Structure 1
């Protein structure tokens, strides 16, 4: 049983990673046999992994046909982006109310921007996620920090999907992040809110993000 459990965990990790990076894009149908061959295991651990991924909402199971990777729906995208807008803008309002907190955060944001410049693929998506996480962590609200962290997998998948859809989106993310960091440096929470709204809507192709 321990070997089966270990194999199921490995299959779960590998398939979930492929979903989050959009190697397995939303709408794709995969079979237990394909994954068993890819992971070099029997179908039993694959079935266990599929059940777990389905319970978490990442896939939908169809008996004798396989598993459908659940796409990121328009409603989910909008709700995630609206939540991000609320949390990040709240954090920046708190930060600019404490001028001594601005400089250290801007230094961290610009160090992140330096890493983003030479990154690609999943590394780029990870560093992009860290940029926004740094802002929220500086906002001194542990409950909102935990909530924002809980969105991490959805955020990462949405960014990966945008990068797969449009290779040029990485250049936009870099430009937008520079402007967002400059808004923080200027202590302008209203400008940050406007730029973040435009950033989220543009990168993820949502017509309007607002709350």
Structure 2
């Protein structure tokens, strides 16, 4: 449910980000107790948050960073006695070797604009149907139409846009029925992935996930909202995408894109996440830790049933909210 999904190049950026952060930690440039947030690091490296998120998760597994009760990670193995240092990482001067910087920035043009276009599209489709005009999209980002077609083709592969009978690029509408359809696929795919990948799940990562869920479960309702997307992503990565079936992983990841976009938009509109999400995920993880794989898969199915009902209920609320007052200029509302 990460926001940068571009195959091998994403993995490469994740590895480079990991190497840069590891080097800065080991050389003492990032001091123990420093709070690391995905956003500022992504800005420094000029990449999206997804590779940074993956890099931090790997460094956590190595014991170089740790989670704590606040948002983000702490440099070091962590301890209740460590006072979080919230100084802006930009003021420290993160050292990015020239070869790493060049590798991070030597991305094809479509990758540089893909995340922005995906965010623009996801932010409006729940309000209706929009047409994307290739020439206007190209002018907006000052790129060629070839680049634009690359972006739109990838959005279509992920189910976020389509071509209509007139060969116009159309985004939306994201309706209750389309959300139900995605959740039907989730129920077909994800429990099977959990069962087939149970023996491949990293036990240390599973334990850390359980501890994190238990900690979030103990918080006040509003305190866990900012961590909700992150913990759901960690759950999918740890428990669902552990399956060795590559085709199954791809189907699940692509099907989750519009689901994650919908949930992200609902949060942006001020609709809160349901605390039961954390409890349901914690129960799945706890069953896995106890070896109850079949029971965990059944609990996952129950979670997905509850999730689709919660999402549909919130979409009904959105239906009475006026559409966005401002959209990207390359998106044109199509009146049905």
Same fold (TM over 0.5): yes
CA distance in 2, matches of 1:204, 1:136: 18
Partner of 1:109 in structure 2?
Answer: 209
Q: Is this contact kept in 2: 1:110–1:181, CA < 8 A?
A: yes
CA distance 1:11–1:189, shift in 2 (3 Å): closer
Partner of 1:52 in structure 2?
Answer: 153
Once the two structures are superposed, residues 137-167 of structure 1 have per-residue CA deviations (whole angstroms, 9 ceiling, x without a partner) of 66xx522x56225522422431342454573
Please state how far the C-alpha of 1:124 moved relative to its aligned partner.
3.6
Rg larger in 1 or in 2?
A: 2
Q: Is 1:12 the equivalent of 2:114?
A: yes
Equivalent runs, 1:127-206 vs 2, <5 Å: 127-136=231-240, 141-143=243-245, 147-162=248-263, 164-165=265-266, 167-205=271-309
Partner SS, residue 79 of structure 1: helix
CA distance 1:103–1:133, shift in 2 (3 Å): closer
Please state how far the C-alpha of 1:107 moved relative to its aligned partner.
1.4
Partner of 2:130 in structure 1?
Answer: 29
CA distance 1:182–1:29, shift in 2 (3 Å): same
How many pairs does the alignment contain? 189
**Structure with more of its chain in helix, by fraction:** 1
Partner SS, residue 175 of structure 1: helix
CA distance in 2, matches of 1:50, 1:66: 15
Partner SS, residue 29 of structure 1: strand
CA distance in 2, matches of 1:102, 1:62: 44
CA distance in 2, matches of 1:41, 1:64: 26
Equivalent runs, 1:79-118 vs 2, <5 Å: 79-92=185-198, 94=199, 104-113=204-213
Please state how far the C-alpha of 1:180 moved relative to its aligned partner.
1.5
Q: Is 1:77 the equivalent of 2:183?
A: yes
Unaligned 5+ segments in structure 2 are 1-106, 311-336
Partner of 1:125 in structure 2?
Answer: 229
Q: Cα RMSD between the aligned structures?
A: 4.0
CA distance 1:50–1:104, shift in 2 (3 Å): closer
Please state how far the C-alpha of 1:125 moved relative to its aligned partner.
2.7
Partner SS, residue 68 of structure 1: strand
Q: Is this contact kept in 1: 2:191–2:298, CA < 8 A?
A: no
Partner of 2:76 in structure 1?
Answer: none
Partner SS, residue 151 of structure 1: helix
Unaligned 5+ segments in structure 1 are 96-100, 207-211
CA distance in 1, matches of 2:164, 2:263: 28
* TM-score relative to the length of structure 1: 0.64
* TM-score relative to the length of structure 2: 0.44
Please state how far the C-alpha of 1:130 moved relative to its aligned partner.
2.1
User: Which has the higher relative contact order, 1 or 2, with Cα contacts under 8 A spaced 6 or more apart?
Assistant: 1
Partner SS, residue 142 of structure 2: coil
